[in-house]
């Protein structure tokens, strides 16, 4: 049933599959039922157009074209299948060998296979058919057609075996003592079967086309045998009188080529629906609602975020986030992965994927982003706001030099020429302690170390002297000493340039040490907002306190177990009722399960969203 359902989901695959089965049936039955009719000479209608007696007309000798086409199916499709079977008989061992041969010789063998694939298959086939054809007849033709296919098959098999051999589940199976033959049968073959079915069917499509082509050129099947290719070449010779004689075989070859090529994909899809089911395309919903009203004057603040909400793929991943940022302030945004901190930052920076829907208001330097035109916005955000992304390896364009990437923003928005922009870049690189900045500008991202790339990323952010710098996990991929250097650097940049910084991190200790204020996020909302210096003494949300308890520190006695927070962060598609933290909270009461606590501000300016804020955690 699942098989049929998978097929119904892709009607083109179903059509291809039906066409393939029909062609196979015709190949079997055609010569039995129509063998006589195909060779019957009708002298009364020679080279005739379509008629009731001859639906496609007749050829130069008065033979019925449709009957001949159907009979020829056996030879054309049969040769395609035979050649591809031969190809796989040779290609599978060759491919397996290249996977097993060991790293020393593998590149050489793979390169040889690649070279053969890059060579025109038709030329190889013509070469082999010239040698083998006169001796072996049809088998020689099949062999000639099989050789290019064998290299294609070998390529598929070796790539597959190498990729599967490296997978975790295979290593795991080997670890628990599964033996090699069993490993091949139970793990390798099922994982390869799908791809092999597809590539085999595509190969049959190739060989049918190639075989018909050979016959079309007059070096394939010889008279009196006939296949689609021979019929096509005869038809083309009388194109003026009877176009159907050429178009008929052409249609059959095209149909067979398409049927086999796409039936293979349909079969694989049906065999493993999971892989092929496409996730429902996320729809962009129109930005909902107008920016929330009020929220303080905010004119003296660098950034004011009001009720920011982000929906992606039907889920609300950021819910009503509001906060402000004073000039030169450095604020940490902490939370477990999936808490919405990065999405909040991307929402502020207007960098969310196009499929996301965003509502709420963002005011940067007193200007409401909502009211600005696109070009204004580009220029404003391009100069006043910069983002340093998490993974500096993937966040730099691997195909462009560092110089191009560092300078393009300044050249675009500040109209600097190449020289001026390069000078600015050198100054910024020196500022982030990158030695030999002129060389760095000429280098590509892969030529720098991780720490250097992160520094360069920050330097790039500083190019236009922005008022706000958002750093998304700037130190996560780096080792501890470099982590400390980058944090020092950020603190200095914050101080010397007076640039406000939002530091996104899952590392509470890092935030506590470097930021003036800490915002804690949980399940898409801010749950606590307080000065970093008061984190240890005055944190009131149980989530914040358990995060603090989970931070390893030097005072902790050896042997004492590190506290972890029990349970998992909530699944956004099945948010718990009431306070989202209640299933994991040691203080949870009935009210926590039924009603969501609002984020309430205290007179001292701190904010917390908890019914039990500040209560003692039971030991």
Partner 1 sequence: MTTAGDGPSPLAGQVAWLGFLGRRLLGLLVVLAFLLFATFVMVRLIPGDPAVVILGQNGTPDQYRAVDHLLGLDHPWPAQFVDYVTRALRGDLGESYVTKQPVGEIIGQRIGPTALLAGLSLAVVLLLSVPLGMAAAHLTANGRRPRVEVAWTTMTAVFGTIPQYLLATLLVFVFALELRLLPVAGMQGWRAVVLPVASLAVGPTLALARIVRLQVLDALAQDYVRTAESKRLPLRTIYLRHVLPNILTTALTVGGLLFSSLIAGTIFIEQIFVRVGMGSSLIGAIQAHDYPVVQADVLLLGMIVVVVNALVDVLLGVIDPRTLATEG
Beta bridge partners of 330: 501
> In this structure, are residues 340 and 318 in contact, taking their beta carbons and an 8 Å threshold?
yes
Binding to partner 1, residues 129-158 (CB under 8 A): 130-131, 134-135
Nearer Cβ to partner 1 (186/439): 439
> In this structure, are residues 521 and 339 in contact, taking their beta carbons and an 8 Å threshold?
yes
CA distances from 402 to 392, 446, 458, 583 (A): 12, 10, 13, 48
Instruction: State which of residues 381, 489, 523, 587 lies at the interface with partner 1 (CB under 8 A).
Output: 381
Asked if 236 is part of the footprint of partner 1 (rule: CB under 8 A), the reply reads yes
Cα-trace Rg, the chain: 35
Instruction: State which of residues 3, 4, 12, 22 lies at the interface with partner 1 (CB under 8 A).
Output: 12
CA distances from 606 to 16, 223, 238, 512, 531 (A): 65, 93, 90, 15, 7
Nearer Cβ to partner 1 (169/239): 239
Asked if 105 is part of the footprint of partner 1 (rule: CB under 8 A), the reply reads no
Q: Which stretch binds partner 1 (CB under 8 A): 254-262, 295-303, 324-332, 581-589?
A: 254-262
Binding to partner 1, residues 259-318 (CB under 8 A): 261-262, 281-284
Token pair of 584 as six digits: 């994991």
Cα–Cα distance, 191 to 180 (Å, whole number): 15
Asked if 427 is part of the footprint of partner 1 (rule: CB under 8 A), the reply reads no
Nearer Cβ to partner 1 (209/515): 209
Asked if 126 is part of the footprint of partner 1 (rule: CB under 8 A), the reply reads yes
Asked if 216 is part of the footprint of partner 1 (rule: CB under 8 A), the reply reads yes
Binding to partner 1, residues 384-423 (CB under 8 A): 386-387, 389-391, 394-400, 404-405, 408-409, 412-413
- Smallest distance from partner 1 to CB 271, Å: 20
Assess whether the previous peptide bond of 370 is cis (omega < 30° from 0).
no
Got the DSSP string for 370-389?
GGS-HHHHHHHHHHHEEEE-
- Smallest distance from partner 1 to CB 544, Å: 30
| Number of residues forming the site for partner 1 (CB under 8 A) | 81
Q: Using H for helix, E for strand and C for coil, what is the string for 544-593?
A: HHHHHHCCCCCCCCCCCCCCCCCCCCCCHHHCCCCCCCHHHCCCCCHHHH
Q: Which stretch binds partner 1 (CB under 8 A): 67-75, 216-224, 586-594, 604-612?
A: 216-224
- Smallest distance from partner 1 to CB 217, Å: 5
Q: Using H for helix, E for strand and C for coil, what is the string for 9-33?
A: HCHHHHHHHHHHHHHHHHHHHHHHH
- Smallest distance from partner 1 to CB 232, Å: 7
Cα–Cα distance, 100 to 88 (Å, whole number): 18
Nearer Cβ to partner 1 (371/394): 394
Nearer Cβ to partner 1 (205/322): 205
Contact pattern from residue 434 through residue 453 relative to partner 1, giving x for each residue in contact according to CB under 8 A and a dash for the rest: -xxxxx--x-x-x-------
Closest CA to 189 of 164, 154, 153, 166: 164
- Smallest distance from partner 1 to CB 21, Å: 19
């Amino acid at each position: 049933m699942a098989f049929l359902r998978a097929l119904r989901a892709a009607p083109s695959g179903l059509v291809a599959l039906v066409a393939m089965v029909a062609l196979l049936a015709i190949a079997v039955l055609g010569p039995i039922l129509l063998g006589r009719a195909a060779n019957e000479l009708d002298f009364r209608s020679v080279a005739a157009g379509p008629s009731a007696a001859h639906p496609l007309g007749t050829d130069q000798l008065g033979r019925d074209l449709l009957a001949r086409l159907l009979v020829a199916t056996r030879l054309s499709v049969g040769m395609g299948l035979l050649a591809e079977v031969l190809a796989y008989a040779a290609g599978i061992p060759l491919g397996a060998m290249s996977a097993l041969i060991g790293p020393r010789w593998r590149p050489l063998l793979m390169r040889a296979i690649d070279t053969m694939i890059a060579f025109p298959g038709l030329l190889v086939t013509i070469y082999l058919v010239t040698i083998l054809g006169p001796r072996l007849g049809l088998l020689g033709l099949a062999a000639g057609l099989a050789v290019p296919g064998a290299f294609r098959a070998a390529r598929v098999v070796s790539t597959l075996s190498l990729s599967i051999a490296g997978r975790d589940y295979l290593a795991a199976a080997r670890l628990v003592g599964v033996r090699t033959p069993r490993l091949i049968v139970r793990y390798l073959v099922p994982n390869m079967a799908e791809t092999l079915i597809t590539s085999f069917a595509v190969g049959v499509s190739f060989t049918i086309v190639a075989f018909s082509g050979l016959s079309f050129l007059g070096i394939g099947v010889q008279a009196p045998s006939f296949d689609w290719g021979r019929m096509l070449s005869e038809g083309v010779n009388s194109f003026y009188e009877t176009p159907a004689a050429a178009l008929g075989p052409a249609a059959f070859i095209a149909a067979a080529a398409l049927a086999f090529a796409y039936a293979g994909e349909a079969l694989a899809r049906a065999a493993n629906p999971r892989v092929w089911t496409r996730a429902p395309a996320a729809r962009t919903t129109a930005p909902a609602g107008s920016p929330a009203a009020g929220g303080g004057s905010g004119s003296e603040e660098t950034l004011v975020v009001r009720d920011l909400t982000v929906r992606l793929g039907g889920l609300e991943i950021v819910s009503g986030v509001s906060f402000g940022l004073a000039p030169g302030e450095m604020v940490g945004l902490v939370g477990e992965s999936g808490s919405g901190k990065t999405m909040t930052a991307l929402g502020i920076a207007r960098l969310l994927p196009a499929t996301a829907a965003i509502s709420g208001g963002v005011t940067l330097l007193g200007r409401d982003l909502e009211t600005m035109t696109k070009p204004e916005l580009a220029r404003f955000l391009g100069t006043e706001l910069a983002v340093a992304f998490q993974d500096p390896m993937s966040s730099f364009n691997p195909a462009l030099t560092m110089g191009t990437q560092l300078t393009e923003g300044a050249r675009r928005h500040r109209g600097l020429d190449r020289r001026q922009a390069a000078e600015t870049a050198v100054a910024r690189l020196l500022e982030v302690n990158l030695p030999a900045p002129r060389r760095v500008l000429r280098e590509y991202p892969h030529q720098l170390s991780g720490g250097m790339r992160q520094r360069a990323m920050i330097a790039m952010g500083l190019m236009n002297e922005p008022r706000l710098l958002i750093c998304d996990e700037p130190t996560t991929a780096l080792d501890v000493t470099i982590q400390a250097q980058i944090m020092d650097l950020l603190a200095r940049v914050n101080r010397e340039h007076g640039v406000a910084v939002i530091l996104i991190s899952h590392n509470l200790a890092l935030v506590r040490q470097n930021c003036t204020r800490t915002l804690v996020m949980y399940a898409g909302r801010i749950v606590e907002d307080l000065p970093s210096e008061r984190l240890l003494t005055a944190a009131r949300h149980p989530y914040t306190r358990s995060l603090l308890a989970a931070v390893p520190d030097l005072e902790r006695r050896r042997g004492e177990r590190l506290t972890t927070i029990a349970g998992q962060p909530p699944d956004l598609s099945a948010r718990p009722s009431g306070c989202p933290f209640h299933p994991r909270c040691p203080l949870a009461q009935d009210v926590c399960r039924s009603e969501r606590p609002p984020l309430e501000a205290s007179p001292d300016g701190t904010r917390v969203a908890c019914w039990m804020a500040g209560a003692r955690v039971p030991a």
